[in-house]
Amino acid sequence: MTLAGKTALVTGASRGIGRAVAERLAADGALVAVGYAQDETAAKEVVTAIGGRAFAVQARLGAEGDVDTLFAALDRGLREHGAGREIDILVNNAGVAAPVTIEDVTPALYDEVFAVNTRATFFTTQRALSRLRDGGRVINITSGATRIAFPEGIAYAMTKGAIETFTLALAQHLGPRGITVNNVAPGIIDTDVNADWLRGDPEAEAYAASRAALGRVGRPDDVAAAVAFLASDDGRWVTGTTLDATGGSHL
């Protein structure tokens, strides 16, 4: 229970990587706010799976008033669990994909992917700073696409590149408070986001596995383990950097 007594907010935690992160942080002892956009049923399933150390907070990030909605829900949940307003760990995981090349990126799609992946991360973190305890953790989920050319999702990759620049500056800014700020960059992970092309297609799975030096497709818990390390005291001397969680893709 390395995170006993800690409180974490994980955005986009009703499925996939976010769910795995929420479950892992709770297993390590943290009280976890499970952020979700619309799927209340899925979020409640995560809370039920975790047990008494979690509660759901709803906010459609990227929409008007998103941060106000998120933190109002967070405050309600913390009160219900007898906890104070402070948090120790912020995991910015919520995001949307844009799986098209530059020729097919519309202004509306571009604005949406930046609103959710970049703008919401920026202002969620901004709001969290006043209640993030000294010695806390900010962990941003970026992507191997910041290191590996990804023309088939160029706008998405750009949002994650922006977050990595944000992380670098924020780590310097928050260093005096003992707060570490890092990225975790997944590669191809077996989640429902990739289900349409990955699951049930042996050729697609073999191709995805071949891209990783470790020879398999990543799992959500692989990424959650990296997040848990950075969230723990073992990660206390790591800041301003990106932890590659691609299984060695395209080395």
Active site (catalytic) residues: 156
Q: In what order do the strands lie in the sheet with 180-186?
A: 54-58, 31-36, 7-10, 87-92, 132-141, 180-186, 242-245
For residue 160, which phi and psi values (nearest 5 degrees)?
-75, -35
